[in-house]
Chains A and B, each alone.
Chain A
Amino acid sequence: MTILVYLIPVALLAGGLGLSGFLWALRSGQYEDLEGAAERILIDRDERPEC
């Protein structure tokens, strides 16, 4: 049962990482244009740099 001492914090840490990743994505505006993001993958941009 001592393994729980490691496993529980590890599980929480992993979950916490995911949560903070989500919050970061939210703050950096990645959810502001969901439809646009879905359509943009269809655009070829060989010569055009990311804007």
Chain B
Amino acid sequence: MSCCAPGAEMALDLNGATSVLPSSQEIRLASRSLGDDLRQTDLSVPTVHCAACIQTIEAALGRLDHVESARVNLSTKRVAVRWRGDEVPPFIAALGRLGYDAHLFAPEIDDKDKTLAELIRAVAVAGFAAGNIMLLSVSVWSGAEGATRDLFHWVSALIAIPALAFAGGIFFRSAWNALRHGRMNMDVPIAVGVSLAYAMSLYETINHGDHAYFDASVSLLFFLLIGRTLDHVMRERARTAVKGLSQLAARGAMVLRGDGARDYLPVGEIEPGMRLLIAAGERIPVDGKIIQGTSDLDCSLASGESTPKNVAPGEAVQGVLNLTGPLTIEATAAAKDSFLAEMVRLMEAAEGGRAQYRRIADRVSALYAPVVHLTAFVTFLGWIAATGDWHRAMTIAIAVLIITCPCALGLAVPIVQVVAARRLFENGIMVKDGSAMERLATMNTAVFDKTGTLTLGQPRLVNASSIDPAVLAIAADMAAHSRHPFSKAIAGFAAAGGQHKFDAVTEHPGFGIEATVAGSIWRLGRRRWAGWKARTDGESGHGGTVLTKDGGIVASFVFEDALRADAGAALAQLNDAGISVEMLSGDTADACGDVAGILGIDRFVSALLPSGKAERIEVLTKAGHKVLMVGDGLNDTPALGAAHVSIAPATAADIGRNAADFVFLRESLSAVPLALDVSRKAGRLIRQNIAIAIIYNAVAVPIAILGHVTPLIAAIAMSASSLLVIGNASRLQGFVPDEPRRTAPPDRRSHTGTLAQPS
């Protein structure tokens, strides 16, 4: 995989842990028809990131039967596959073989970014107009007179009209919207200044005046639109990437009708009372009750419990992954009333508190706008009182409005945030919007979830070295037949020699795997079931995973949940930064105590319900803390929403990632202190930029009030202040975060502790 090695390896890793291939019915459901038997399926492939990836994917998919074309979009990390025929080509499996983890991309959230297209068009029109008017204005400033000057002014006026109508429309609409609701925003002075300047310039032109401000009013729009576009690009881009990472929720399920017919229905059409067939490895789309079959369920995303849960008929299940055996369940709630939907509601309720946060730019503009208007108005009154010349008073008032243009202010915040987001992106962290960085910079308490956040949520075999390699190889070959997390951990130790010859391999859901070799029975699984001859009681009599031959125990396996790389270092850095750390988990007190002990976390609360985490965060918030929540599970979602700011790993549940402000793509937890570092630095730069903008105004405004500002000076001053702000922001590009430099890749095993008890 050449240059893609790190990313693609991570994909393989995740693939082994969580990926479930969607069925062909599900793919068909998610594809859209382009007419004429042609269908298009959009896949999200988060690990595509270079030319080699594009080529590999497009070539491999293009070779599949029935595939018309495949096109990779590198910016959004998506692949659009067009195909014909009734049979769905196996493109997800083909991508999986190449090492790319692909997920269906829901077409309903794939609406094109219309705002961005409009902003870019507006920038283009404003730039075109500003450039041309500036050329004409330079001629006027350098001494054009009489008819020539008037001609130039008229041409400028003509060019400015479409620019104002089209590019200015964005500001006029926003300003009007704010005024209608009795609010003030940054767009109001812009709209007033631009239109007054245009009207005044037109008046001057008609009356053969010396000065016109067409250039100022249009280039003002140009600069502001650049700032606005940057702001928008940053927010949208991260958001689509977050959306597209992976879609964990099932899109539909096989429904068993009364007459024995089977239909694949989308989740929205599943109603209570329907019987659903859930194969091993599928997700359970709605809440339900098991009526047939036994299996192991992976509940880690829902409850935070890391050990798979053994289920039997009669038990209730909700939104989890079915690991080992086929199940028939009866739906007890429609999708909109399910556990998943409940989490969304809890999250929305919790997010209300955060919505009150106002961005720095908004807070500044709330002060700025009235001051600017008042200054301009007082200037106007002052000049009328002093000279009685209303025309001159008006000209000067407009000059004041224009020179105080929040140009620098409009760029000050977004430009820094774009540079900071870029830096974070390079380090594998995606930011949802600029206010997230502002909030992160002010947080002082970090709350971590355990399973999947501090730990990887995947068991690892730790006593491999004490097991006879030949026996381990047998166990690994047997384990390769199962999806159980423990099996996967064992299967990783398969010998290079190849498969053992088993006569028959069967999986007994909830118990383990049985294989017959040359007349003897091998079992890998629960101690009680596998080791029926060696019925031992005592310390491990109730559980433990063992390999047995004809009922006699040959080897027993000990598993641990591995800590996330750099977890200890990351927490230490947070401590150094003066942040208190706490751990909340839905897992048992023992498991939490072990992790807390290894990482040196003083405070932790275990066995919490999802609402309990959100409540704990509210308690902390009430006590005056600004809380950062780091979590990945469905059960963390309300807490992610309730916290001041939140971070989720890319392996988190879909809804969790959408609730979080930051998503980190790499395994290392050092993303958290890094994001904090960059955010704090960005916050400082934003304050500096605002200070620059204010100092500029403090110098320029008195000159304008005194009536010494010509259009040339106004234009130069405005551009200079903007450039200064951009230059200051680019200092962040060279900023190196003080993260510990590693020479060797982290050895996970040295960080592990016994967390997951074998069941």
The residue that B159 contacts in the complex, of A12, A22, A42, with Cβ under 8 A, is A12
Q: Which of A1-51 contact B (CB under 8 A)?
A: 1, 4, 8, 11-12, 15-16, 18-19, 22-23, 26, 31-36, 39-43, 48, 51
Residue of A31, A39, A51 contacting most chain B CB atoms (<10 Å): A39
- Shortest distance between the CB of B430 and any CB in chain A (Å): 15
Chain A CB within 8 A of B207 CB: no
Interface of chain B: mostly helix, strand, loop or mixed: helix
Please measure, in the bound complex, the distance between the C-alpha atom of A33 and the C-alpha atom of B59, giving whole angstroms: 19
Q: Could you list some 23 contacts between A and B, CB below 8 A? A: A8-B136, A11-B135, A12-B132, A12-B155, A12-B159, A15-B128, A15-B132, A18-B128, A19-B128, A22-B124, A23-B121, A23-B124, A26-B117, A31-B120, A32-B73, A33-B75, A34-B75, A36-B72, A36-B73, A36-B74, A51-B62, A51-B69, A51-B70
CB pair A39–B159 under 8 Å, yes or no, is no
A residues sitting closer than 8 Å to B (CB atoms) are 1, 4, 8, 11-12, 15-16, 18-19, 22-23, 26, 31-36, 39-43, 48, 51
Give the residue name and chain of the A residue nearest to B74 (CB).
A36
Chain A residues contacting B155 (CB-CB under 8 Å) are 8, 12
Is A51 in contact with B75, judged by CB distance below 8 angstroms? no
Chain B residues at the A interface, C-beta cutoff of 8 Å = 50-51, 54-55, 58-59, 62, 69-76, 117, 120-121, 124-125, 128, 131-132, 135-136, 148, 151, 155, 159
Docked complex Cα distance between A8 and B135 (Å): 10
A33 touches B73 (CB 8 A): yes
Minimum C-beta distance from A51 to chain B (A): 5
**Contact of A1 with B120 at beta-carbon distance under 8 Å, contacts A33-B74, A33-B75 already known:** no
Which residues of A have CB within 8 Å of B51? 39-43
Distance (Å) between the CB of B46 and the closest chain A CB?
14
Instruction: Give chain B residues whose Cβ lies under 8 Å from the Cβ of A18.
Output: 128
For residue B260, give the distance in angstroms from its CB to the closest CB of chain A: 44
CB <8 Å contact, A35 and B74: yes
Which chain A residue lies CB-closest to B50? A39
Min CB distance, A2 to chain B, in Å?
A: 11
Not counting A11-B132, A36-B74, a sample of 10 additional A-B residue pairs whose C-beta atoms are within 8 angstroms of each other reads: A12-B159, A23-B124, A26-B121, A31-B120, A33-B75, A34-B75, A35-B74, A40-B51, A51-B58, A51-B71
Within the complex, what minimum Cβ distance (angstroms) separates B113 from chain A?
Answer: 9
Bound complex: CA A43 to CA B55 (Å): 7
Taking CB atoms, residues of chain A closer than 8 Å to B117 are 26
Give bound CA distance, A47 to B465, whole Å: 51
* Residues of chain A with a CB closer than 8 A to B73's CB: 32-33, 36
- A40→B54 contact, CB < 8 A: yes
Closest partner residue, chain A, to B116 (CB atom):
A31
Please, which residues of chain A bring their CB within 8 A of the CB of B59? 48
Q: A12-B159, A33-B74, A51-B69 are in contact. Are A39 and B128 (CB under 8 A)?
A: no
Q: Which residues of A contact B75 (CB under 8 A)?
A: 32-36
List residues of chain B with CB within 8 A of the CB of A12: 132, 155, 159
Interface centre among B69, B74, B135 (most CB of A within 10 A): B74
Alpha-carbon separation in the docked complex, A39 to B148 (Å) = 50
CB distance from B222 to the nearest CB of A (A): 13
Residues from chain B with Cβ under 8 Å of A32 in the complex? 73, 75
With a cutoff of 8 Å between Cβ atoms, the chain A residues found around residue B128 in the complex are: 15-16, 18-19
> Please, which residues of chain A bring their CB within 8 A of the CB of B125?
19
A1-B148, A11-B132, A35-B74 as given contacts; A26 in contact with B54, CB under 8 Å: no
Chain B residues with CB under 8 Å of A23's CB are 121, 124
A-side contacts of B131, CB under 8 Å: 15
Question: What's the least CB distance linking A48 to chain B, in Å?
Answer: 7
- Whether B74 pairs with A39 at a CB distance below 8 angstroms is yes
With a cutoff of 8 Å between Cβ atoms, the chain A residues found around residue B120 in the complex are 26, 31
- In the complex, A32 Cα to B116 Cα: how many Å? 11
Contacts of A35 in B (CB 8 A): 74-75
Q: A44: nearest residue on chain B (CB-CB)? A: B55
Give every chain A residue within 8 A of B70 (Cβ-Cβ).
51
Q: Kindly state the separation between the CA atoms of A34 and B166 in the bound complex, as whole angstroms.
A: 25
Rounded to whole angstroms, the CA-CA distance of A40 and B57 in the bound complex is 13
In angstroms, Cα B139 to Cα A11, docked, is 14
Q: How far is the CA of A32 from the CA of B70 in the complex (A)?
A: 16
Select from chain B the residue with minimum beta-carbon distance to A45: B55
Q: A41: shortest Cβ distance to chain B, in Å? A: 8
Q: A33–B74 Cα gap in the complex (Å)?
A: 6
Query: A22–B151 Cα gap in the complex (Å)?
Result: 28
Contact between A39 and B54, CB atoms less than 8 A apart: yes
Picked from A8, A16, A34, A36, the residue with its CB within 8 Å of the CB of B54 is A36
Taking the nearest CB of chain B, how far is it from the CB of A29, in angstroms? 9
Q: Which residue of B lies closest to A22 (CB)?
A: B124
Q: Which 5 A-B pairs have the closest CB atoms?
A: A36-B74, A39-B51, A42-B51, A35-B74, A33-B73
**Whole-angstrom distance between the Cβ of B608 and the nearest chain A Cβ:** 41
A34–B135 CA distance with the chains assembled, in angstroms: 31
Residues from chain A with Cβ under 8 Å of B135 in the complex: 11
